[in-house]
Structure 1
Amino acid sequence: MAEQGADRGSSTGSRDDADAFARNMREVAERSQQIIRDFLSRNEGLDTSAPADPLNLTTAFTHLTERMMENPARLVEAQAALWQDYLNLWQSTASRMAGGEAKPVIAPEPSDKRFKDKDWSENQLFDFIKQSYLLTARWILNTVHGVQGMDPDEARKIDFYTRQFVDAMAPSNFVTTNPEVLRATIESKGENLVRGLNNMIRDMEKGGGELRISMTDEKAFELGRNVATAPGKVVFQNGLMQILQYTPTTETVHKRPLLIVPPWINKFYILDLQPKNSFIRFAVEQGHTVFVVSWVNPDEEMAKKTFEDYMVEGLITALDKVTEESGVAEVNVIGYCIGGTLLATTLSYLKAQGDKRVKSATFFTTLTDFRDAGDIKVFVDEAQIGNLEKVMSKKGYLEGRKMATAFNMLRSNDLIWSFVVNNYLLGKDPFPFDLLYWNSDATRMPAAMHSFYLRHMYRENKLVEPGGITMRGVPIDLRQIDIPVYILSAQQDHIAPWKSTYRATQLYSGNTRFVLGASGHIAGVINPPAANKYNYWTNKDLPADPEAWFAGAEKHAGSWWVDWAKWIKRLGGAQVPARTPGEVLGVIEDAPGSYVKMRD
């Protein structure tokens, strides 16, 4: 009787589990249908004048098809190679299922986190799915990449969007082909999918009807409380920026102050996330009087602000105020990303004016020669810029999330699909992470400035041409920059490829030092010595070929910050008593200021 009761209990439990699973799946289906109905309802009045192909892909893939048809033998050869790979995979899988050993036909890169779950290797079925995907992905990418006779810009665009398609179709992105998601679905009786659906609805609400994927718990951070906490004061502001001066931590400081010009594509506090990885705190500890530009998040009233305005009302005004506050005629300046592009442009302009206030320039991951600007160039062909200008003309700016999406696509597996799996399939909340909080804190771009930047620099590469662009009637010639220069690039930078940033070494006529850090556009810069992470390369010689530079470079363990600190120390001048923020200009508010808190 007891055994029969146990059987009935087991049966009842199984029915309860099945009922719970069915209820959860029904809820997922019903709410999914509602999401589709809401989407269609929102888009009933969709602007029919909007381009059907805003990314200008149709023409590119039409040309690809034409070129591929010119050499059908190559397609047949590629297809035959794929079938041979599949045959090898089938034999390998059959051997494993029979209890034998077999080496994988293809394996993911060690850095590929999509297939880290043990079942991708230990379970023969999922191993087969994984290898089938990798073989097919390789075949697609190689076939597309190997087509001859394509326009280089079109070929880059095709490669890029083919990778986007291949990444999107990974088996890890689907419930039934991801072993980790399947386990979670069975164990939670589908609760993970319900939670994931709630997460998706929340992200759609946050994006005003567009999916805005949460990368971190944004409520876990607050500017001035646990990010951007370096003590200081806002000592000046105009319509374009605030200037922050940081509180010294040493009794004496270098005579020449340090001005940091961050990008306005992102916010400055990437340089001050946490005390342990704050470059601003590090520079203050080295005995520098540190000033930082905090750019405003522009709105429609700033639609006509130009790159020239960023130079005059931004950097040149900052130089005026920093020299006034410090009482010193010379300043060391750092420019990061587009902030560095602005710095190089301004240095040429100042040189033509006989203005010698900038003693040295440091460039973090900065492009001046945009000839090969990486995958970001897939977004800047003539058709796309034209479409973008039409969009910006309606509001006067480019929305920050549009820029963020473009940058996230450069690393879609890490910055898009990993969160789709975590948030929507596994139903987990995103982990609190300061860097991803900053990454999600996007800024807008004024229409006039952004159009000029894309056209004259990314599209036409005019900045590198002597006189290619003018600022306030002054032809810009980067060859006239003759002050000491420190160039920091990152080996895996997808936004400012290091071999492109290296070309600046052949432009400047002063004493130039080029340093290559490990990692990418952000982690390659934010690499504090205490972390004892990564490494960097140096080489006093500056041959024209970046590969020749790297071949002769010396590798150093740890952070490049130490190397830069030694370099800038020689340019800081004599020691003077530490300066209290706002002694001359006065204090407006505490750092990090109010401009940085303006959300998109």
Structure 2
Amino acid sequence: MLHAALGRMTYGISPAALALAWTDWTLHLAQSPGKWARLSEKALRKAGRFGEYAARAAGGDTQPCIAPLPQDRRFSGDAWQRWPFNVIHQGFLLNQQWWHNVTTGIGGVSPHHEQVVSFVARQLLDVVSPVNFVATNPDVLQATVEQGGMNFVRGAAHLADDGWRMLTERPPAGADNFIPGRQVAVTPGRVVLRNRLMELIQYAPATPDVHAEPVLIVPAWIMKYYILDLSPQNSLVNHLVGRGHTVFMISWHNPGEDDRDLGMDDYLRLGVLAALDALGAIVPDQRIHAAGYCLGGTLLAIAAAYLARRRDERLRSLTLLAAQTDFTEAGELSLFIDDSELDYLEDIMWHQGYLQTRQMAGAFQLLRSNDLVWSRIVNDYLLGQRQPLTDLMAWNADATRMPYRMHSEYLRRLFLKNDLFEGRYRVDDRPVVLADIRVPMFVVATEADHVAPWKSVYKINLVAGADVTFVLTSGGHNAGIVSEPGHRGRRFRIARRTNGDPYLAPDDWVAATPACDGSWWQAWADWLAVASSGRTAPPSLGAPGQGYAPLDAAPGRYVLER
């Protein structure tokens, strides 16, 4: 009960886990006089560099003494290169670099605790960044002079509106322009199956004939499915239907307190396996191209290994989109996952029956606080500029909950113990093994993914018992997958590894694989076409005689649940 109460204030982050990391770091730093000496030396050198730079900058020299990290765009504007703001931001970057040295490279500190302490230090430094203060942000000062302070008036109005929306649990401003079934998730189709956990949507054909094998898409249940069916111009579903594929999509139920005991096995049986049964009735005598995104891809890999163990040959191919099967290098999301943190989370979920959307969103926002928190505060409240909401941003705010039992099983069995990759994940009290999967795989990872780092996704090559076509695309976990043809600046690398070929390490794979301009969507659609057996007349919507009568029109009911 104490953990549940504290969780409302800490957004699910365990104070005990933070204290353990801080204690580990502090005790080892206290016993490292050599580290003290190096830090003192670095501090003196940086002070000298800063003094020299400040003198040069006062004389009009704009050559910086330290460059920001590649992903740090806070000081890229022209105004930050002029005195005195160039001196201010260079001093901040030198200080940030020194604190990185303080929190890393200390002998004896566990890697996880080092990552946590370094991460917390970055968060605290980001709070005091000169970008966040009126007096030290040249863009805010210029806007204030030019607009006579009206930027603060608009910012106050934005702050009041956001506060009201948060208190009343309403979506962000502009989300009303992207309602599923009206502006997004509008690809025509019908719900052909509904159970307590999911709806199965079958999309209407858009071509006179279609590829014989249907495509089943399994999205993650941490998100609404329509990230793959946004506006018509950037809808992956619409793209596949237009290329002559019969597409089915799972739309997950948004769980509440009554669903607290739904587990991973329920998502497997009532989700993927139930959908495969429906496809077998609606498109009989055809094997299935199955695709899974994020956590849905992990579940689909479990299902494929389970089917392989049973000698069930319903799958024609397997596509994994930003989906991990090995969780030993799960990126910065693993900062929030250890025994202490999971015990804390489980107590929170025990009390309410699920993990709230705000608790999950808080962790994801911390991973990209500069982009998702501080830049928004500066733009909305100091500059008084609302960034127009896009369909992807509106979808990102339309989060779902996670049931108690499932989330606990997922984090412990996959993230913490890595049972799936190491052959210990059990279905029907017997392990399922990824190496048993023999169907061709198409695996997509994204370069800037903070949820499923591409090198972690790439590890499927270590256990795959089939041909793997691996794609590395530009963008992050969401934007890299929503990468429609014509999207400016998109590029990808693609290469096929035939089963039995020597393994290439990730960096060697990148060096050996040239980048292509454009969208990976077209490459995937071509790959699916080659893996299909030919064209045929479109199947009917549903199979009423076998219990799969068409129900509501797409997008169905579950996607609208709050």
TM-score (normalizing by structure 2): 0.93
Tell me if the contact between 1:503 and 1:544 (Cα under 8 Å) persists in the aligned partners.
no
The aligned counterpart of 1:515 is 471
Counterpart-to-counterpart distance in 1, 2:420 and 2:391: 34
Equivalent residue for 2:519, pick from 550, 559, 576: 559
1:486 aligns with 2:445: no
Tell me if the contact between 2:305 and 2:432 (Cα under 8 Å) persists in the aligned partners.
yes
The aligned counterpart of 2:126 is 167
Counterpart-to-counterpart distance in 2, 1:486 and 1:152: 32
Shift of residue 169, structure 1, vs aligned partner: 2.0
Shift of residue 550, structure 1, vs aligned partner: 2.1
Alignment of 1:240-259 (within 5 A): 240-259=197-216
Equivalent residue for 1:587, pick from 547, 550, 553: 550
Distance 1:152-1:96 versus aligned 2 partners, 3 A rule? closer
Q: Deviations over 1:215-240 (max 9, x none)?
A: x6223222122111211111111111
Counterpart-to-counterpart distance in 2, 1:316 and 1:457: 20
Distance 1:343-1:48 versus aligned 2 partners, 3 A rule? closer
Distance 1:49-1:328 versus aligned 2 partners, 3 A rule? closer
The aligned counterpart of 1:206 is 165
The aligned counterpart of 1:291 is 248
Shift of residue 302, structure 1, vs aligned partner: 0.6
In the alignment, residue 116 of structure 1 is paired with which amino acid?
A: S
SS class of match (1:463)? coil
SS class of match (2:438)? coil
Shift of residue 593, structure 1, vs aligned partner: 1.4
Shift of residue 400, structure 1, vs aligned partner: 1.3
Q: Deviations over 1:170-209 (max 9, x none)?
A: 1101222112222333444444334333333332333338
Q: CA RMSD in A?
A: 2.2
Equivalent residue for 2:482, pick from 512, 526, 538: 526
Equivalent residue for 1:90, pick from 42, 45, 51: 51
Shift of residue 527, structure 1, vs aligned partner: 1.2
Counterpart-to-counterpart distance in 2, 1:83 and 1:229: 61
Tell me if the contact between 1:539 and 1:554 (Cα under 8 Å) persists in the aligned partners.
no
Shift of residue 146, structure 1, vs aligned partner: 2.0
Shift of residue 47, structure 1, vs aligned partner: 4.3
Counterpart-to-counterpart distance in 2, 1:286 and 1:398: 39
Question: Highest CA radius of gyration, 1 or 2?
Answer: 1
Shift of residue 462, structure 1, vs aligned partner: 0.8
Q: Which moved more, 1:291-300 or 1:58-67?
A: 58-67
In the alignment, residue 550 of structure 2 is paired with which amino acid?
A: V
In the alignment, residue 595 of structure 1 is paired with which amino acid?
A: Y
In the alignment, residue 446 of structure 1 is paired with which amino acid?
A: P
Alignment of 1:464-503 (within 5 A): 464-466=421-423, 468-503=424-459
SS class of match (1:556)? strand
Shift of residue 81, structure 1, vs aligned partner: 2.3
In the alignment, residue 41 of structure 2 is paired with which amino acid?
A: A
SS class of match (1:141)? helix
Q: Deviations over 1:291-328 (max 9, x none)?
A: 00001111111100000000000100000111211223
SS class of match (1:522)? coil
Counterpart-to-counterpart distance in 2, 1:515 and 1:290: 22
Q: Which moved more, 1:270-279 or 1:79-88?
A: 79-88
Q: Which moved more, 1:359-368 or 1:578-587?
A: 578-587
Tell me if the contact between 2:35 and 2:106 (Cα under 8 Å) persists in the aligned partners.
no
Q: Which moved more, 1:387-396 or 1:103-112?
A: 103-112
Tell me if the contact between 2:134 and 2:140 (Cα under 8 Å) persists in the aligned partners.
yes
Shift of residue 121, structure 1, vs aligned partner: 0.7
Q: Deviations over 1:564-591 (max 9, x none)?
A: 1221112222211123423543321111
In the alignment, residue 33 of structure 2 is paired with which amino acid?
A: P
Q: Which moved more, 1:538-547 or 1:340-349?
A: 538-547
Shift of residue 332, structure 1, vs aligned partner: 0.8
Shift of residue 507, structure 1, vs aligned partner: 1.1
Counterpart-to-counterpart distance in 2, 1:277 and 1:596: 19
SS class of match (1:482)? coil
Q: Deviations over 1:3-42 (max 9, x none)?
A: xxxxxxxxxxxxxxxxxxxxxxxxxxxxxxxxxxxxxxxx
Shift of residue 598, structure 1, vs aligned partner: 1.3
Tell me if the contact between 2:57 and 2:87 (Cα under 8 Å) persists in the aligned partners.
no
SS class of match (1:413)? helix
Tell me if the contact between 1:248 and 1:580 (Cα under 8 Å) persists in the aligned partners.
no
Tell me if the contact between 2:29 and 2:106 (Cα under 8 Å) persists in the aligned partners.
yes
SS class of match (1:538)? strand
The aligned counterpart of 1:38 is none
Counterpart-to-counterpart distance in 2, 1:533 and 1:272: 21
Counterpart-to-counterpart distance in 2, 1:323 and 1:79: 69
Q: Deviations over 1:437-475 (max 9, x none)?
A: 111111100000000000111011111122x12123232
In the alignment, residue 404 of structure 2 is paired with which amino acid?
A: A
Distance 1:409-1:48 versus aligned 2 partners, 3 A rule? closer
Tell me if the contact between 2:53 and 2:87 (Cα under 8 Å) persists in the aligned partners.
no
SS class of match (2:333)? helix
Counterpart-to-counterpart distance in 2, 1:263 and 1:284: 21
Q: Deviations over 1:264-294 (max 9, x none)?
A: 1111111111122111111111111000000
1:180 aligns with 2:136: no
1:416 aligns with 2:390: no
Counterpart-to-counterpart distance in 2, 1:204 and 1:160: 27
In the alignment, residue 343 of structure 1 is paired with which amino acid?
A: L
Shift of residue 394, structure 1, vs aligned partner: 1.4
In the alignment, residue 158 of structure 2 is paired with which amino acid?
A: N
Shift of residue 380, structure 1, vs aligned partner: 0.9
SS class of match (1:432)? coil
Q: Which moved more, 1:416-425 or 1:52-61?
A: 52-61
Shift of residue 416, structure 1, vs aligned partner: 1.3
In the alignment, residue 111 of structure 2 is paired with which amino acid?
A: P
Shift of residue 50, structure 1, vs aligned partner: 8.5
The aligned counterpart of 2:79 is 119
Counterpart-to-counterpart distance in 2, 1:48 and 1:518: 39
Distance 1:511-1:101 versus aligned 2 partners, 3 A rule? closer
SS class of match (2:300)? helix
Q: Deviations over 1:392-432 (max 9, x none)?
A: 11111001121122122221111111111112222333312
Shift of residue 526, structure 1, vs aligned partner: 1.5
Counterpart-to-counterpart distance in 2, 1:343 and 1:548: 28
Aligned identity (percent) is 37
Distance 1:193-1:488 versus aligned 2 partners, 3 A rule? same
Distance 1:208-1:167 versus aligned 2 partners, 3 A rule? same
Shift of residue 537, structure 1, vs aligned partner: 1.4
Equivalent residue for 2:313, pick from 344, 356, 380: 356
The aligned counterpart of 1:395 is 352
Q: How many matched pairs?
A: 549
Shift of residue 528, structure 1, vs aligned partner: 1.6
Counterpart-to-counterpart distance in 1, 2:76 and 2:62: 20
In the alignment, residue 67 of structure 2 is paired with which amino acid?
A: A
SS class of match (2:167)? coil
Mark the runs of 5 or more structure 1 residues left unpaired by the alignment. 1-45
In the alignment, residue 269 of structure 2 is paired with which amino acid?
A: V
The aligned counterpart of 1:43 is none
Counterpart-to-counterpart distance in 2, 1:152 and 1:355: 42
Counterpart-to-counterpart distance in 2, 1:164 and 1:250: 51
Distance 1:576-1:50 versus aligned 2 partners, 3 A rule? closer
Counterpart-to-counterpart distance in 2, 1:48 and 1:391: 9
Counterpart-to-counterpart distance in 2, 1:390 and 1:273: 36
Counterpart-to-counterpart distance in 2, 1:535 and 1:507: 27
